[in-house]
Structure 1
Amino acid sequence: MDPATLGKLLSPDGWALLAALPPYDEKQAMALSMRLRDQGVDPDLAAAVLTQSRLRAKARAKLGDFADGMLFTPDGVEQATRLVVAALHARRYLAAGVTKVADLTCGIGADALAFAGVGLQVLATDVDEVTAAMAAVNLRPFPEAEVRHADGLTLDLSAEGVDGVYADPARRTRGGKRVFDPRAYAPPLDAVWALRSSVPAVGIKVGPGIAHQGLPADAETQWVSVDGDVVEAGLWFGPLAPGGPGRSALILTTRGGVTRTRTLRSAVPVGQHAAGPAYDAVPPVGPVGAYVYEPDGAVIRAGLVGQAAQDLGGRLLDATIAYVTTDQPAPAAVVDPASGAAPLAVGYRVLDVLPFGVKRLKAYLRERGVGRVAIKKRGTAVTPEQLRAQLSLHGPREATLILTRVEGAQQILVVEPLTHGGTPA
């Protein structure tokens, strides 16, 4: 969107038109566009309000009802922090005693909203003029939040009274391709974390695929999952990392209108660096037990499967595979949300274990009348789609299969999903 079209959208008539649109329905979008033009609505304005309606609908998954009063860019929706996670970011700064946060790459302002919402002063910047203008609109309920069209790295943080810095560098090219090299972020990651020499409280959102190698020794690197999806990693410096440097996993669940959390941390001797595996718990490896658990994705990304295995009271199926097996159900405190915390892992009761072989598996399932299979896999090149086609199943029953390695050998586990309480679903 260019500045002229944004001006039309922000005019009283444009804003009223956007507010009057029905809930977005992709099947009706073309007809609605034609109707607006037939009514004499400026074509650029018609396209802008329809685009905002579509982006608001998409953003609701991250921002809930707040999205209905906000403006978005496509990139802004993709990179916006989920509200439940942004609220936790804000609490870090509040707990660290920060009073004014500079959000150096504010985008459409999701994190800045959370900062202002807990009472922090906010100075938000973005290098894109239209994006900065949209952020200013989105932050209009908070007079303590200022938005500037500027390069955040050029700010005189001391003169601005900033005692906390936050950045969410762009991790996609203009063509939409993901950027995995932190030096190619915009701005580069090194340039942002260098600010900790002048403002110790620095937080940086990065992609969850960031490599462990090269992580700064003085940061807590935390991977975050929401309802099973790993959504981000964050680098937290100085007072924003009260538990000290190392790797951690934050698990969030929001089901049933209740947000539950669980944090797992690497065990690091004081003064040592936890970017590598040297200080991880080393679990035993052994045969398949009565139960199998898959740790949450944030735990896996953080390299904390060994510690998860200890908490679950189990062993690994294979030294290189993130499946934990136990002879007894895992303690309810780590898998049951009734404990008050998010579950550490998803569990399955093991019904059968078979050596890998399509012919043998096909016969096994046919004998049991299985016509539909859910397939999970780790440590195998077999694709679920390929296997389903080869099995050519017919029957009224369902089964869940785990394709994996057990102590180096390819195996098929026939399993039954457990409820969070540890009983069959």
Structure 2
Amino acid sequence: MGAPDPPPGWDALFTPEGRTHLADAERAIADGASSAQAGAALRRAGVASDAVAAILTQAELRRRAVTKFGDAAGALLFTQAGLEQASRHVVAETHAARFRASGCRRVADLGAGIGAESLALVAAGVGVTAVEIDPFTARFTEHNVSVAVASVCGHDSETTSDVRIADATTLDLAGIDGAFLDPARRTAGSRDTRRLASVDDYTPSLDFAFALGERMPTGVKLGPGFDRELIPANAEAQWVSVDGDVVEMGLWFGAVARPGVRRAALILRGGRRHELTEAADAADPESAELGEYLYEPDGAVIRARLIGLLAERLDAGTISPGIAYLASDRLVRTPFAQTFRIVEELPMREKDLRRALAERDIGRLEIKKRGADVDPAGLRTRLNRRGDRRATLVLTRVGGRHTALLAERVPAADPSV
């Protein structure tokens, strides 16, 4: 699917003068100027109005990109669609590490977008051929990859890269050792993007991606909610969570898939990496009585269906069939779940619950729910809390019975599991 013509003025971003104006606008905004004031200054300097709009849009995209790219965002260029789909750099680094460990000397980044995966591969010392079908987006890819290559110029020739404007499905892969695909799940373009709903709309197609996995070491980045029924039997499926947010499900084939691993939950938190792996979905955990501690597994653990494996490590059981809360009388520090100490059970009826919270001087309330048909934001407003204490209210089912649990978070510490 081809992209529409770029908005007027975006060509300015690829000129030295345009990047100077972009830097000027970013400095002005950092010093407290509004976007309108920064734009007015650019127009006074003789910058055309359409270029001003492009520069201000790029300044905003760079600001947002810090979440994914850190300080490196200040040297990169982005489209809105490319930034939305780009892997966070901390995740792309794990992808690149797989290819490096498997011995791949050159990897094709098929459907490279703005080049997030290519940047990580270059930084890992792996040669890259970045392939992007949209000529306008490819200009962003080329700029960003050149920035990455310049930053690691001390590496040997394996870090050389090239950017090709081509259809990934027809590319000659001679000289390529591995491939990475991030099939487009949004319409192309620099703005006004929309998410694609059907797996048939992925570009490149999933049939192509999975067939490539039969031929060479291949990674395929997909959304965390991808239909599990479509996961090929020969792929390692890894769900990735960054600081509690499940950001992707990756499928890995060939030498970049680990022997004996078909399900994995990777937790990246606070600069540290933790992982649960298994040869298949774990068996459902046994039921348990509500104990002193309640564990809420990370979303990656839930989506990977490794709750049973985590329950074994925690010596815990599920509080009710189908509810992803685990209960135990034992406190185990773990990066794979949030931990709460149960204080007491409160009445479920809203009027009685409001009174109970007031009696306990609870004014700052975190509400969590599983298996309860309630809107936490609306309930928080209706409870009309006044008080100085902080607590967590867990609305769930225990043994099939709707229950309200007053709890307090257990601070994170060095994990033992």
Q: Judge conservation of contact 1:183–1:190 (CA < 8 Å) in 2.
A: no
Does residue 1:196 correspond to 2:213, yes or no?
Answer: yes
Match of 2:320 in 1: 318
Does residue 1:74 correspond to 2:80, yes or no?
Answer: yes
In the alignment, residue 57 of structure 2 is paired with which amino acid? T
Q: Judge conservation of contact 1:218–1:245 (CA < 8 Å) in 2.
A: no
Q: Secondary structure at the match of 1:139?
A: helix
Structure 2: how far apart are the matches of 1:218 and 1:148?
Answer: 30
- 1:6 is displaced (CA, Å) by 4.1
Q: CA RMSD in A?
A: 2.0
Match of 1:373 in 2: 365
Does residue 1:56 correspond to 2:62, yes or no?
Answer: yes
Match of 1:146 in 2: 162
User: Normalising by structure 2, what TM-score?
Assistant: 0.90
Q: 1:263 aligns with which of 267, 272, 275?
A: 275
Deviations 1:159-193 (A, max 9, x none): xx011010101112456333343222122212111
Structure 1: how far apart are the matches of 2:110 and 2:413?
Answer: 44
In the alignment, residue 198 of structure 2 is paired with which amino acid? D
- 1:38 is displaced (CA, Å) by 2.4
Match of 2:377 in 1: 385
Distance 1:217 1:45, change over 3 A: same
Match of 1:398 in 2: 390
Distance 1:422 1:265, change over 3 A: closer
Q: Secondary structure at the match of 1:208?
A: coil
Structure 1: how far apart are the matches of 2:338 and 2:197?
Answer: 29
Does residue 1:179 correspond to 2:196, yes or no?
Answer: yes
Structure 2: how far apart are the matches of 1:28 and 1:69?
Answer: 22
Q: 1:17 aligns with which of 18, 21, 24?
A: 21
**Identity of matched residues, %:** 43
In the alignment, residue 113 of structure 1 is paired with which amino acid? L
Structure 2: how far apart are the matches of 1:387 and 1:16?
Answer: 50
Match of 1:34 in 2: 40
- 1:11 is displaced (CA, Å) by 2.0
Structure 1: how far apart are the matches of 2:321 and 2:330?
Answer: 21
Q: How many aligned positions are there?
A: 396
Q: Secondary structure at the match of 2:229?
A: coil
Q: Secondary structure at the match of 2:186?
A: coil
Q: Secondary structure at the match of 2:114?
A: coil
Q: Judge conservation of contact 2:25–2:38 (CA < 8 Å) in 1.
A: no
Deviations 1:336-383 (A, max 9, x none): xxxxxxx11111110002352212212211222222311011111111
In the alignment, residue 119 of structure 1 is paired with which amino acid? G
Q: Judge conservation of contact 2:214–2:254 (CA < 8 Å) in 1.
A: no
Deviations 1:31-68 (A, max 9, x none): 21122112221222212221111111110110011111
Alignment of 1:22-421 (within 5 A): 22-23=26-27, 24=29, 28-141=34-147, 142=149, 144-158=160-174, 161-173=175-187, 176-198=193-215, 200-254=216-270, 259-266=271-278, 268=279, 274=280, 277=281, 280-330=282-332, 332=333, 335=334, 343-421=335-413
Distance 1:403 1:7, change over 3 A: same
- 1:282 is displaced (CA, Å) by 2.9
Q: Secondary structure at the match of 2:230?
A: coil
Gaps of 5+ in 2: 150-158
Q: Judge conservation of contact 1:180–1:210 (CA < 8 Å) in 2.
A: no
Distance 1:245 1:418, change over 3 A: closer
Q: Secondary structure at the match of 1:306?
A: helix
Q: Secondary structure at the match of 2:394?
A: strand
- 1:95 is displaced (CA, Å) by 0.6
In the alignment, residue 161 of structure 2 is paired with which amino acid? A
